[in-house]
Amino acid sequence: MRFTLMRSARLLFASAVVALLSPDSLAAQSTGAVRGRVVENGGQRPVADVQVGIVGTTLGAITNSAGEYIIANVPAGEHRIRARRLGFRADDHQLTLSAGTTARADFTLSPTATQLSQVVVTGTAGAVERRTVGNSITQIDVADLTEKNSIMNVSEILQGKSPGVSILPGSGASGTAGEIRIRGAGSTSGYSPAVYIDGIRYNISDLGGFSATGGGTAGLAQSTQVTSALNWLNPNDIESIEVLKGPAAATLYGAEASNGVIQIITKKGNRGQQALRWGFRAERGQNEWMLEPAPNYTTCDAAKQAATISATNLDPLWPGCQGKPVNTVLTENPMMEDSRALRVGDLSRLSMTLRGGGDRYSMYLSGDRDTDQGVFFNNDVNRTSVRSNFSFNPNDKADFAVTMNWQDGRIRL
């Protein structure tokens, strides 16, 4: 019995020596740990989901909600620790780790803009990366354009900024629009593209009875003044515009997309702790008719001197010829005299925005008032619009959003 106990003790001792001399045990004696905390620059708030890793190795960890992390089994020696997270500038720390010890590396990350693969909105469910879409897509950064330039309408945004899109100019009168063609004039189903605003179909047909052919309205049969509901959108409320020109666009949006698709993405609030940001913009301009119309001439003959108005003769009188000798030449320029037809055009635009958000909500509110008086007394446009959106994310599985747009306008041509 004694021999058996002594033999068992020797075996246990030998096993312990082998375990201590094994590679895993030797490695444990030559490693340490790195721990620390990651906070945001300025507010010193903890930053979660930060990837902290040992450069040149596969060792790493992710910070918790308190911004804390720990990396175990790090070989002793000199190491470079790197912290990275989307939306923040990466930061590196150099440290020396001794065997069997725990070194500390704290990080302070600064927010920064990050350029990602471009994402576009299509007719399929959700957004996709641009390089995975077979269609020809042109994306216009409208927010940047409106910040640097004075853009009056959506047609000006598309003009010359999207290859393959042509804008046939309108008459130039206030309230008129150009005709948009994306796939040329060879289509037999019309020229107008399909327009979507935040995924909702938007009708850009002529306003009221104003159309290129008059729309059957008496007195407008020869009208060439084209109007479009697209130009009633405020460019300052648009974030970006995507133009789909590929023939496969019809597979995403249906047969009405055979002439191309214009996808308009409006501005929205940004989530994250931030103060409310107010914006105010005012524009003022004038337009004057500088080309003097040619004067009118007429010769007073016997027929004009004897002309009268009756039930069978509705020709107007020639009061200037009454009492004048035959062959008297009269001249007049009614367009330029006594302010009968022309005036100095006036344009004013006021816009106010409010944007803000928190960790789980975002909001955006804008109001606009436009007044545009053309050079002709019978041409003016008045428009008022209010747009708002609000999104709320109560938890990780629910998202609530409301978008509202109200417009009221009057156009006279």
Residue 300 pLDDT grade (very low, low, confident, very high; cuts 50, 70, 90): confident
Pairing of strands 91-97, 77-84: antiparallel
Please tell me the predicted confidence (pLDDT) of residue 67. Answer: 92
Give the residue from 124, 123, 164 showing the smallest Cα distance to 140.
164
Per-residue pLDDT reduced to its tens digit, 303-328:
777 766 555 655 556 667 877 888 88
Question: Of all residues in the chain, what percent carry a pLDDT higher than 70?
Answer: 75
Helix then strand then coil, in percent of the chain rounded to 5, is 15, 40, 40
pLDDT at 4 over 50: no
Q: Which pLDDT value is given to residue 119?
A: 56
More confidently predicted of 48 and 16: 48
The answer to whether 193 touches 182, Cβ cutoff 8 Å, is: yes
- Report pLDDT for 107: 94
Around Cβ 338, how many Cβ atoms within 10 Å? 6
Instruction: Judge whether residue 257 has pLDDT over 50.
Output: yes
Task: Examine the pLDDT at 13 and tell me if it is beyond 80.
Answer: no
Q: What percent of the chain has pLDDT over 90?
A: 19
* 199: number of Cβ within 10 Å: 11
According to the model, what pLDDT value does residue 36 have? Answer: 94
- Count of C-beta atoms within a 10 Å radius of residue 241: 22
How much is the pLDDT for 5?
Answer: 44
For residue 112, the model assigns a pLDDT of: 81
Query: For the whole prediction, is pTM greater than 0.75?
Result: no
The predicted pLDDT at position 203 comes to 86
Say how far apart CA 153 and CA 268 lie, in whole Å: 20
383 compared with 114, residue with greater pLDDT = 383
The SS3 call for residue 214 is: helix
Over the stretch 186-219, which tens digit does the pLDDT of each residue have? 555 567 788 888 888 888 877 766 554 444 444 4
- Average pLDDT over every residue of 359-371: 90
Q: What is the pLDDT of residue 339?
A: 66
According to DSSP, residue 229 is labeled G
Q: How many CB atoms lie within 10 A of CB 254?
A: 13
**Nearest Cα to 359, choosing from 273, 268, 277, 274?**
273
Average pLDDT of the residues in 88-108: 91
Question: Is the pLDDT score of 120 beyond 70?
Answer: no
337: pLDDT strictly greater than 70: yes
Identify whether the C-beta of residue 52 lies closer than 8 Å to the C-beta of residue 83: yes
Distance, C-alpha 207 to centroid of its chain: 25
- 374: exposed, middle or buried (Cβ count in 10 Å: 0-12, 13-18, 19+): buried
pLDDT reported for residue 193: 83
Highest mean pLDDT among 112-121, 134-143, 309-318, 402-411: 402-411
Cβ-contact 177, 228 below 8 angstroms: yes
Residue 139 has pLDDT above 90, yes or no: no
Residue 30: phi and psi, rounded to 5, are -110, 20
Looking at residues 252-261, what average pLDDT do you find? Answer: 76
pLDDT, mean of residues 181-188? 61
pLDDT of 229 above 60: yes
**Secondary structure (3-state) at 197:** strand
Structure tokens at 307: 């002309």
Range 261-283 average pLDDT: 83
Convert the pLDDT of each residue in 391-407 to its tens digit. Answer: 998 887 888 989 888 98
